[in-house]
Amino acid sequence: MGILKRFKDIMSANVNSLLDKCENPAKMVDEYLRQLADQLAEVKKETAGIMAEEKRTKRLVDENNEQIAKYDSLARKALTAGNEDDAKVFIAKKQSFEARNADLEEAYNAAKANSEKMRRMHDKLTNDVAELQSKRAQIKAKTAVAKTQQKINDITGNADKVNDVMSAFERMEQKADSMLDKADAEAELNRGAKDEAEELAKKYGSAEDSGVDDALEKMKKEMGLS
């Protein structure tokens, strides 16, 4: 039974453990479903053939038992009629069918065992497909949410980098302001102290100029020019 050996791993397959190991659950679901569909189609075909063999061997056993019962009945009728020779013929025929019975029973039992194994395999595959199909939409939805969350995480990370750059620019601006203040202070120191006498001269010079202007206005009024 090569089919049983070939699908030994299917019997021990675990959908959840396979999904836990994969990096892309949504993609794994579709791939595993495809594989299961192919395997299930082959198992169905093989199972149907083995079940047919079980029925065939069972029919041979039943037909053989019918022949045994038939000649047993005929032998008894012959004895009842007092025909022992006829009864011996029927008994000999019965024994020939009885000799075949052991081999037929053995073939039937083997076919039945194989059929049961294939049915279990078929049922497991069918259940795995149904289980995975029921989880397919949920897994794909969760995978999509996870991808979206990852994109958000990436964007947030980039935003944090922008904030770091802005902070760096602010620090550079503060440093530039500090350098400018220092330069202004040095320039002020370089101009030196103010000349007090010169400042007073400017004051009185301005006052004198103001007196000339006042006199000019007075003269213009006297002359009727304003």
Question: What does the pLDDT read at residue 93?
Answer: 95
Lowest mean pLDDT segment, chosen from 67-81, 113-127, 187-201: 187-201
Q: Between 165 and 64, where is the model more confident?
A: 64
Burial category of 12 from C-beta neighbours within 10 Å (exposed 0-12, middle 13-18, buried 19 and up)? exposed
User: For residue 150, how far is the Cα from the chain centroid?
Assistant: 14
Asked if the structure places residue 6 within a domain, the reply is yes
Output the pLDDT for position 1.
47
Q: Please report whether residue 175 resides in a domain.
A: no
Pair (202, 94) in one structural domain: no
Structure tokens at 17: 């453990």
| Tens digit of each residue's pLDDT (9 = 90 or more) over 1-45 | 455 555 555 545 555 555 555 566 667 777 777 877 887 788 888
Q: Decide if 92 contacts 42 (C-beta within 8 A).
A: no
Check whether residue 104 and residue 213 sit in a common domain: no
pLDDT of residue 72: 94
122 and 219 inside one domain? no
Q: Please state the domain count of the chain.
A: 2
Q: Is residue 110 located within the same domain as residue 58?
A: yes
In this structure, the answer to whether residues 211 and 109 fall within a common structural domain is no
191 assigned to some structural domain: no
Decide if pLDDT at 55 tops 90.
yes
Q: What range defines the domain where residue 224 resides?
A: 197-226
Q: Which tops the pLDDT comparison, 162 or 186?
A: 186
Q: Report pTM.
A: 0.48
Question: Most confidently modeled of 37-41, 69-73, 155-159, 204-208?
Answer: 69-73
- 224 and 160 inside one domain: no
